[in-house]
């Protein structure tokens, strides 16, 4: 902030006056961008999609002020490939990073690998420096670039955010989950200081990580130059496991669960209709059928609280009218393993799966100068689209050789509901440890086809009529299934997608 603005802040009523002057200055420059990435946050975990137990007033407000994409997808059902795809504008099949880093099968002993019918392909463990990331694209045009929170796009420190286009890196390194001392280990919780993170100095003992990331983002916003736009990537570690939240918030949601009668309902089952009737069953599986976990709800509440704080900081500094704000999750809610803290119903399954619960996400874009408040788009879109879309919205040249899989959503944001961004593809040649098996998928219009790599069988669903994917149409609409399977195969060839291979040492359980 320059000397004049600092002086204005000391005047009576100076906060409002300074904010107005900053706003006036911002109207004459390119828009700022705030991209909020939430970790493991399900489509059904937000109030505007119908959750009654979780409370997300700030995300709901953000949704009411921008456009929500009802059929918005992550690029993958798991963390690292989603994040790399967002940064590169390329599908995971094209980058080769198709699993979380370092991967579920990585480092397993031969006797442990015997339980898997297939072996995952080798993959890079670092997003290459040769990729021109979204941050680099903005930086090329004079933007200040800030990374706050989770990275998980690399194992080696030479590939961390500060080497991938970000001027500032706060908290981003190899870890995909918070690294504080868990309660089971005698600490105050994994989300509490000391963080044991080389890129995030410890705060006071017990400081909550989600609040700290909000604080750091607010500082960057407040200290941003009035004549230089910024790109802020705020990637919360929440709501990833371990599920450890603020005790006072947990107490409230335990009371709420009791008031709603949720504490008397058995939350888990292996007996869902879709699973009972499935011809092909995964051995490792159970699913949460109701949102009732107070600790998880409290973790969501803290995250939402900090979304609100960041939005208020933009407003207080006169930047809200000229800032593009996006919100996305990297994959679906964790509903079938690791404690299964959430339920994605009416969507099927969750993190790790290519059913809707694993890939359909809260997907919001707000920009008052371009996007009508409260607008809703039903066109299927995917995370790789953010790269060209944000450049387009900022009036910057696209990088078609970089974001080869992304499509600009500008027509949709301007109200052209007839615009079709084309089919959307997925490739997950891994076991995720959540009951899921290696698979690929394609979404085209109302239809989605999933191909399971263990035996090559396919399932076909009409999502407009069957959002829960309970009625497999592959045998009654064979032509449609064959058409989409061929499309998926052609796409994999185009991407040079690496496939899993048969495990010669597989031993059936």
pLDDT value at residue 26 = 43
Buried b (16+ CB within 10 A) or exposed e, 189-227: bbbbbbbebebbeebeeebbbbbbbbbbbbebbeebebe
Distance (Å, whole) CA 352 – CA 387: 24
pLDDT band at 108 (very low <50, low <70, confident <90, very high): confident
What is the pLDDT of the chain when averaged over all its residues?
Answer: 92
The CATH number given to whatever domain includes residue 361 is 3.40.720.10
Looking at residues 129-142, what average pLDDT do you find?
Answer: 98
pLDDT above 60 (res 72): yes
Whether cis (ω within 30° of 0) applies to the bond prior to 194 is yes
pLDDT above 80 (res 405): yes
Look at residue 183 and tell me if it is in a domain. yes
pLDDT above 80 (res 27): no
Look at residue 173 and tell me if it is in a domain. yes
Instruction: Please spell the DSSP secondary structure of 153-197, one letter per residue.
Output: SBSSGGGSGGGTT-SEEES-SS-SS--S--GGGTSS-TTBS---B
Q: pLDDT tens digits, residue range 355-367?
A: 999 999 999 999 9
> H/E/C letters for each residue in 224-241?
CCCCCCEEEEEECCCCCC
Looking at residue 417, the DSSP 8-state letter turns out to be T
Look at residue 24 and tell me if it is in a domain. no
| pLDDT above 90 coverage of the chain, percent | 85
Look at residue 227 and tell me if it is in a domain. yes
Look at residue 490 and tell me if it is in a domain. no
The pTM assigned to this predicted structure is: 0.93
**Residue 250 in tokens:** 């947990």
**Which region holds residue 231: left if phi is over 0, alpha if psi is between -120 and 50, else beta?**
beta
Distance (Å, whole) CA 443 – CA 433: 24
Distance (Å, whole) CA 107 – CA 109: 6
pLDDT above 90 (res 268): no
Look at residue 102 and tell me if it is in a domain. yes
Look at residue 114 and tell me if it is in a domain. no
Look at residue 436 and tell me if it is in a domain. no
Q: pLDDT tens digits, residue range 187-227?
A: 999 999 999 999 999 999 899 999 999 999 999 999 999 88
pLDDT value at residue 11 = 33
Q: pLDDT tens digits, residue range 421-448?
A: 999 999 999 998 888 899 999 999 999 9
| pLDDT above 70 coverage of the chain, percent | 92
pLDDT value at residue 110 = 86
Q: How many domains does the chain have?
A: 1
Instruction: Pick 417 or 62 by higher pLDDT.
Output: 62
Distance (Å, whole) CA 423 – CA 443: 6
Residue 205 structural domain: 31-106+134-277+286-422
């Amino acid at each position: 902030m320059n000397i004049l603005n600092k002086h204005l802040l000391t005047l009576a009523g100076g906060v409002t006056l300074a904010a107005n002057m900053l706003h006036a200055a911002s109207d004459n420059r390119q828009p700022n961008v705030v991209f909020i990435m939430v970790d493991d946050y399900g489509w059904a975990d937000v109030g505007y999609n119908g959750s009654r137990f979780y409370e997300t007033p700030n995300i709901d407000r953000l949704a009411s002020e921008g456009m929500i994409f009802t059929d918005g997808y992550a690029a993958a059902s798991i963390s690292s490939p989603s994040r790399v795809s967002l940064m590169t504008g390329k599908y995971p099949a094209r980058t080769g990073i198709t699993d979380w880093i370092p991967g579920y099968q990585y480092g397993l002993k031969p006797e442990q690998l015997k339980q898997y019918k297939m072996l995952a392909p080798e993959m890079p463990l670092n997003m290459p420096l040769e990729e021109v990331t979204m941050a680099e694209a903005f930086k090329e045009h004079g933007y200040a670039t800030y990374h706050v929170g989770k990275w998980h796009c690399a194992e080696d420190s030479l590939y961390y955010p500060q080497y991938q286009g970000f001027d500032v890196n706060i908290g981003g390194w190899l870890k995909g989950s918070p690294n504080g001392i868990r309660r089971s280990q005698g600490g105050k919780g994994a989300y509490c200081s000391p963080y044991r993170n080389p890129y995030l100095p410890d705060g006071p003992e017990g400081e909550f990580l989600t609040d700290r990331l909000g604080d750091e983002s607010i500082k960057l916003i407040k200290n941003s130059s009035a004549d230089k736009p910024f790109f802020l990537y705020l990637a919360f570690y929440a709501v990833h496991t371990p599920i450890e939240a603020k005790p006072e918030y947990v107490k409230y949601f335990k009371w709420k669960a009791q008031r709603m009668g949720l504490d008397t309902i058995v939350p888990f089952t292996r007996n869902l209709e879709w699973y009972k009737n499935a011809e092909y069953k995964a051995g490792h599986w159970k699913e949460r059928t109701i949102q009732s976990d107070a600790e998880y709800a409290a973790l969501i509440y803290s995250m939402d609280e900090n979304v609100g704080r960041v939005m208020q900081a933009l407003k207080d500094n006169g930047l809200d009218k000229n800032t593009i704000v996006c919100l996305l999750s990297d994959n679906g809610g964790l509903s079938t393993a690791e404690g299964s803290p959430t339920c994605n119903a009416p969507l099927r399954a969750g993190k790790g799966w290519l059913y809707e619960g694993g890939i359909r996400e809260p997907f919001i874009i707000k920009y008052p100068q371009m996007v009508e408040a409260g607008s809703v788009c039903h066109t299927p879109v995917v995370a790789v689209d953010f790269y060209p879309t944000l450049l387009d919205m900022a009036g910057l040249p696209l990088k078609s050789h970089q974001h080869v899989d992304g499509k600009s959503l500008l027509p949709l944001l301007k109200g052209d509901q007839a615009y079709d961004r084309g089919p959307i593809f997925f490739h997950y040649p891994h076991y995720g440890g959540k009951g899921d098996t290696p698979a690929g998928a394609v979404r085209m219009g109302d239809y989605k086809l999933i191909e399971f790599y263990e035996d090559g069988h396919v399932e076909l669903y009409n999502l407009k009529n069957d959002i829960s994917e309970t009625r497999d149409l592959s045998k009654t609409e064979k032509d449609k299934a064959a058409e989409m399977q061929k499309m998926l195969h052609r796409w994999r060839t185009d991407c040079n997608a690496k496939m899993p291979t048969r495990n010669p040492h597989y031993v059936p359980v």
